[in-house]
Structure 1
Amino acid sequence: MTALAALILSASAGSGATTISTLGIFAGLTLAAHLAVRRWAPSADPVLLPCVVLLNGLGLVLIDRLDHENPLENGAQSSDAAHQLIWTGIGIVLFAGVLLVVRDHTRPAEYGYTCGLAGLGALLIPALLPAQYSEVNGGKSWILLHGFSIQPGEFAKVLLLIFVASFLVANRELFTTAGHQFLGMTFPRLRDLGPLLLVTAMSLLVLMYEKNLGFSLLVFGTVLAMIYIATDRVSWLVIGFSMFAVGATIAYMAFPHVRVRVEVWQDPFATYYTSGYQISQALFGMATGGLLGTGIGAGRPQEVPFAKTDFIISTIGEELGLIGLAAVISVFAILTVRGFVAALATRDAFGKLLGGGLAFSIGWQLFVVVGGVTKLIPLTGLTTPFMSYGGSSLLANYIIVALLIRISHDARTAPPPPAPRPPVAIAEAQTQHVSRRWLGKAQ
Structure 2
Amino acid sequence: MSQAGMIMEFVHRRRRGAELFLLVLALAVGVGAYAAVGLGVDGEVPTDLITYGGWLAALVVIAHLVVRFVAPYADPVLLPVVAALNGLGLAVIYRLDLAEDTTFARQQLTWMSLGVALFVIALLVLRDHRVLQRFTYTSGLLAIILLLLPMVPGLGTEINGARIWIHLGPFSFQPGEIAKLLLVVTFAGYLVLHRDALALAGRRVLFVDLPRGRDLGPILLMWLVSLGILVFQTDLGSSLLFFGLFLIMLYVSTERAGWLVLGTGLFIGGALMAYRFEPHVRVRVDTWLHPFDYYSDAQGATSFQLVESMFGMGWGGLLGRGLGLGMPERIPRAESDFIMGALGEELGLTGVIAVILLYGLIVERALRASLICRDGFGKLVAVGLAGVVALQVFVVIGGVTRLIPLTGLTTPFLSYGGSSLVANWVLIALLLRISDYARRPAPTLSTEDDADQEATQVVKMA
* Same-fold status (TM-score > 0.5): yes
Match of 1:438 in 2: none
Q: Structure 2 matches for 1:135-284, cutoff 5 A?
A: 135-177=158-200, 179-195=202-218, 197-198=220-221, 201-274=224-297, 275-284=302-311
Aligned-CA RMSD value: 2.4
Which residue is equivalent to 1:439? none
Q: 1:68 aligns with which of 98, 103, 108?
A: 98
Q: Give me the whole-angstrom Cα distance separating, in 2, the residues matched to 1:129 and 1:313.
A: 34
Which residue of the partner structure matches residue 121 of structure 1?
145
Q: Which moved more, 1:263-272 or 1:302-311?
A: 263-272
Confirm whether residue 83 of structure 1 aligns to residue 83 of structure 2.
no
Distance 2:459 2:414 in 1: 68
The separation in 2 between residues aligned to 1:377 and 1:348, in whole angstroms, is: 36
Q: What is the CA-CA distance between 1:223 and the residue it aligns to? A: 1.1
TM-score (structure 2 length as normaliser) = 0.86
Following the alignment from structure 1 to structure 2, what is the Cα–Cα distance between the partners of residues 277 and 110? Answer: 48
CA distance in 2, matches of 1:268, 1:2: 40
Cα displacement (A) at 1:172: 1.2
The answer for the alignment partner of 1:98 in structure 2 is 122
**What are structure 2's unaligned runs of at least 5 residues?**
1-23, 39-44
**Percent identical:** 47
Pick one of 40, 43, 48 that aligns with 2:70.
40
Structure 2 match to 1:343 = 370
Distance 1:325 1:432, change over 3 A: closer
Aligned to 1:30: 60
Matches of residues 307-386 of structure 1 in structure 2 within 5 Å?
307-386=334-413
Cα separation, 2, equivalents of 1:184 and 1:223: 24
- What do the CA deviations read for 1:21-49 (whole angstroms, capped 9, x no partner)? 22321111111111111121111000000
For residue 129 of structure 1, what is the amino acid of its counterpart?
P
TM-superposition CA deviations, 1:207-241 (whole Å, max 9, x none):
43100111110111111111111111111111111
Count of aligned pairs between the two proteins? 422
Report SS of the residue matched to 2:129.
Answer: coil
Q: Cα distance 1:32–1:183, how it changes in 2: closer, same or farther (>3 A)? A: same
Equivalent residue, structure 2, for 1:437: none
Contact 1:336 1:363 in 2 (8 A): yes
* Superposed displacement of residue 58, structure 1: 0.6
- Residue 410 of structure 1 corresponds to 437
How far apart, CA to CA, are the structure 1 residues paired with 2:413 and 2:153?
28
Q: After superposing the two structures, state which structure 1 stretch, 5-14 or 144-153, moved more.
A: 5-14
Q: Is the 8 A contact 2:374 2:438 kept in 1?
A: yes
Q: Which residue does 1:59 correspond to in 2?
A: 89
- 8 Å contact kept, 2:227–2:270: no
Shift of 1:179: 3.5
Contact 1:133–1:145 (CA under 8 A) maintained in structure 2: no
1:418 and 1:270 map into 2 onto residues whose CA distance is: 71
- Indicate whether 1:292 and 2:315 are aligned: no
Kept in 1, the 8 Å contact 2:231–2:278? The answer is no
SS, match of residue 248 in structure 1? helix
Question: What is the CA–CA distance in structure 2 between the aligned matches of 1:353 and 1:331, rounded to whole Å?
Answer: 22
- Partner-residue secondary structure (3-state), 2:209: strand
User: Structure 1 counterpart of 2:146, which letter?
Assistant: A
Q: Aligned pair in 2 of structure 1 residues 320, 186: CA closer, same or farther (>3 Å)?
A: same
Closer/same/farther in 2, CA of residues 8 and 225 from structure 1, 3 Å limit: same
SS in 1 for 2:172: strand
What is the alpha-carbon distance in structure 2 between the residues aligned to residue 198 and residue 246 of structure 1? 15
SS in structure 1 at match of 2:325: coil
Aligned-partner Cα distance in 1 for 2:438–2:95: 40
Whichever residue aligns with residue 95 of structure 1, its letter is F
Which residue identity is paired with 2:140? G
C-alpha deviations, 1:419-443, integer Å up to 9, x for none?
9x9xx9xxx955999xxxxxxxxxx
Shift of 1:291: 1.0
Query: What secondary structure, in the 3-state scheme, does the structure 1 residue paired with 2:37 have?
Result: coil
Secondary structure of residue in 2 paired with 1:106 = helix
What is the alpha-carbon distance in structure 2 between the residues aligned to residue 56 and residue 303 of structure 1?
A: 23
Larger deviation, residues 324-333 vs 22-31: 22-31
Partner of 2:421: 394
**Which letter maps to 2:277?**
A
Task: Quote the offset at 1:183 in angstroms.
Answer: 3.8
Equivalent pair of 1:143/1:152 in contact (CA under 8 Å): yes
Task: Give, in angstroms, the shift of residue 265 of structure 1.
Answer: 0.8
SS at match of 1:13: helix
CA displacement at 1:298 relative to structure 2: 0.5
Normalising by the residue count of structure 1, what TM-score does the alignment of the two structures yield?
A: 0.90
Structure 1 pair 432–52 and aligned structure 2 pair: CA distance change class (3 A): closer
2:33–2:91 contact (8 Å) kept in structure 1: no
Asked whether the 8 Å contact 1:344–1:352 carries over to 2, the reply is: yes
Letter in 2 for 1:56: N
Letter in 2 for 1:82: R
Q: Deviations over 1:369-395 (max 9, x none)?
A: 111001111111111000100001111
Which moved further from structure 2: 188-197 or 329-338? 188-197
- How far the C-alpha of 1:260 sits from its partner, in A, is 1.2
- After TM superposition, the structure 1 stretch with the greater mean CA deviation from structure 2, 304-313 or 15-24, is 15-24
